[in-house]
Structures are given as C-alpha cells and as structure tokens.
Structure 1
Amino acid sequence: MRILGLIVFLLDLYAIWNVITSSTSTAKKVIWTLAILILPVLGLIVWFFMGPRGRGARI
C-alpha cells in the first residue's frame, strides 16, 4: 500500500507541475491545484482527461 501511495503522490506532483507551468489563467491553475490536492486520486484522473492542456481533446 505504501508504494501505491507513493505512486499517487508522485503523479499528483507531476499533475500540479503541469498545471502551474501551463498557459491557462491563474484562477484555473488555483482551481486545478486545489482539486488535485483535496481529491488526490479523483483530481488526478479528472485532470488527466480534462486538464488545462486539453488532454481530453486529443483522445
């Protein structure tokens, strides 16, 4: 279980880094960062498909 927690933590850090370095507005960056921090697994999944870089549009 500790390895799974570490993997989620590292993926959350990656997602937050991508949000912060994206070209979206500051308000959206704050919302995405809070969503990822408050709901680590669900926030990560939603960010992956609908994040500020438009990952969902490529699918």
Structure 2
Amino acid sequence: MTGGEMHGFEIIGAVGIAMMFVFWLIFAAGFVVWLWALVDILRHEFSGNNKLIWLLVVISLPLLGVLLYWFIGREQKVSSDVHAPFSGHGEDNKEEER
C-alpha cells in the first residue's frame, strides 16, 4: 500500500463523513427556513384565527407546513404598517421636550 491511497473502510469512512456533513448542512438550512416561517407568522397579523392555524400547521408538519405557508399563508397577512407604533410621534415625546 502506498502512502496516498485509501482502501476498504478508509474510503467508507471518508464518504460517511462527507455524507454526514451534507446531511447536517441540509438539516441546518431546513431549520433556518422553519424558524423564519415561525417568526414571520408571529410578527404579522392575520384575519380571524389564521395566525393560530398557521402556527399549528408549521409546528406540526415542518416541511409541508413551511411550503404551504410560503405559497398560501403569506398572502393571508393583513397589510399594515408595522413601524407605525414606533414612529416616535406621540404624547410621551411631547412631555420630554418640555
């Protein structure tokens, strides 16, 4: 056996490590997308009980739930200006200026 060659279990070990790395990379990406969907649902308003329903769907069926939310749920958001309550123009600021 020469110095740079791999035989038998050494090849299986190297392939196994590469496959494990790919698996964890896919898992991490899926987890990030799942977490994004949960945060997006929690940050936005929905009509009726849609927020609760989408939370249950995404938590119960992670992969399918995220796909359904991506294609269907995002269109069900109630459009509103999310920055309006934090605009800084209110009665509290007038008292501070005095």
In which range does the TM-score fall when normalised by the shorter chain?
A: 0.7 to 0.9
Q: Which has the larger radius of gyration?
A: 2
Structure 2 stretches of 5 or more lacking a match? 1-22, 77-98
Q: What residue is the counterpart of 2:6 in the other structure?
A: none
Among residues 49, 53, 56, which one is paired with 1:34 in the alignment?
56
Among 25, 38, 59, which residue is 1:3 paired with? 25
| CA distance, structure 2, for counterparts of residue 26 and residue 10 of structure 1 | 27
Give the match for residue 49 of structure 1: 71
TM-score where L is the length of structure 2 = 0.49
Pick 1 or 2: higher relative contact order, CA cutoff 8 A, min separation 6.
1
| CA deviation after TM superposition for structure 1 residue 26, in Å | 6.4
Q: Give the Å deviation of 1:6.
A: 1.0
Report how many aligned residue pairs link the two structures. 54
Aligned in 2, Cα 1:32/1:18: closer, same or farther, shift over 3 Å? Answer: same
Could you tell me which runs of 5 or more consecutive residues in structure 1 were left unpaired when the two chains were aligned. Answer: none
How far does the alpha carbon of each residue in 1:29-58 deviate from its partner, in whole angstroms, 9 at most, with x for none?
Answer: 12111111111111010000001x318xxx
> Between Structure 1 and Structure 2, which shows a larger proportion of helix residues?
1
Q: Identity of paired residues, percent?
A: 28
In the alignment, which residue of structure 2 is the partner of 1:21?
43
Q: Distance in 1 between matches of 2:54 and 2:41?
A: 7
Rounded to whole Å, the distance in 1 between the matches of 2:26 and 2:60 is: 18
